[in-house]
Amino acid sequence: MRARPRLPSWLVPFLCLMAAVALPFWVPTYYTQFASKALIMGMLAMALNLAVGQGGLVSLCHAAFFGVAGYVLALTSPKYDAASLLLTLPLAVLASGLAALAIGALALRTRGVYFIMVTLAFGEMLYFFFHDTGIGGGSDGAFINLKPEIAIAGRQLLDLDKPMAFYFVVLAFTVGVIALLLMLVRSPFGHALAAARDNERRARSLGFPIFRIRLIAFTISGALAGLAGYFAAAQFGFVAPEMLGWHQSATVLAMVLIGGLQSVTGPLLGALVLLGLEEVLKANLAQWKLAEGLIVIAIVLALPNGVRQLWPLLFGQPRQKPSSGKVAPETGRG
């Protein structure tokens, strides 16, 4: 092992946060909006990773939870007025959480490939629910004319129509999601969830109620996906059934794989990488989807544990403190 001075563990997250706070003051508005979008997709990917990475539950219906929250915002937004964020956000998250609870309660009775297929089927059901019924404009989707506002007693506190204000609200929620997920992953609950992923039979025979643990995790994961979906709908001012489709679910799964399953923030990095890649390729290549696909395959093959694997290669920092062997290697780290 190379004898380099170790950076304090808080330093990197702190610097990342500082950079994220400083960003909108230095870049054109377009990139502030792009960063908001990336953080929103990062939230979705981190939410999904609670189920996939920590729980071993590969879900192909998280886009549906994402989209349900978006539709809740669209349906509760008055036509010529702004919706109240303090009212509609909890409602949207609740709706996604309930959808995840209902779908999870059925899908978690299956395992492995069957679980993937059942979640895919439920996701498509929700997609066609919005596609084929008049609710929310059918296949045309629905507009959200005004961004929701944060107001108390009629006084507006923050104008979310300003890209910078919107960005900071999204950033604050992203930090909140990271904190929540870190707490969960490091808690006894998180360890029990990981134990059930690694050896379900053993976890059950020790006395862990596997179904309940997984259902709770899946519900939280779905609710957080809804949080991301709410902001996505608010940012674009538009919702369409495609938001719920399996294509979207698979894209987020790709973000999780690019970022790495084994940490809380890895999928956020994966979202940044994938969206950044898209942005660069779109501007320069006609066949950008082909190039993107090849690069994603290359990343996943070369870095099976995600782009965070590059970190020790670049900086020679051991990922695991040798002295703290009691910490299981795959429990999430910042």
Q: Contact positions toward another protein, by CB under 8 A?
A: 183-184, 186-192, 195, 198-199, 201-210, 212-213, 216, 325-330
CB nearer to another protein: pick between 158 and 180: 180
Smallest separation, CB 91 to another protein (Å): 23
Q: Which of 254, 239, 195, 210 is nearest to 92 (CA)?
A: 239
Question: CA 76 to CA 318: how far, in whole Å?
Answer: 50
CB nearer to another protein: pick between 317 and 331: 331
CB nearer to another protein: pick between 28 and 188: 188
CA 57, 61, 66, 68 torsion-angle sign? negative
Smallest separation, CB 213 to another protein (Å): 6
Smallest separation, CB 46 to another protein (Å): 17
CB nearer to another protein: pick between 211 and 311: 211
CB nearer to another protein: pick between 181 and 253: 181
CB nearer to another protein: pick between 130 and 218: 218
Smallest separation, CB 93 to another protein (Å): 17
Smallest separation, CB 183 to another protein (Å): 6
CB nearer to another protein: pick between 162 and 186: 186
Smallest separation, CB 184 to another protein (Å): 6
Question: CA 239 to CA 6: how far, in whole Å?
Answer: 47
Chain-centre distance for alpha carbon 117: 21
Smallest separation, CB 322 to another protein (Å): 9
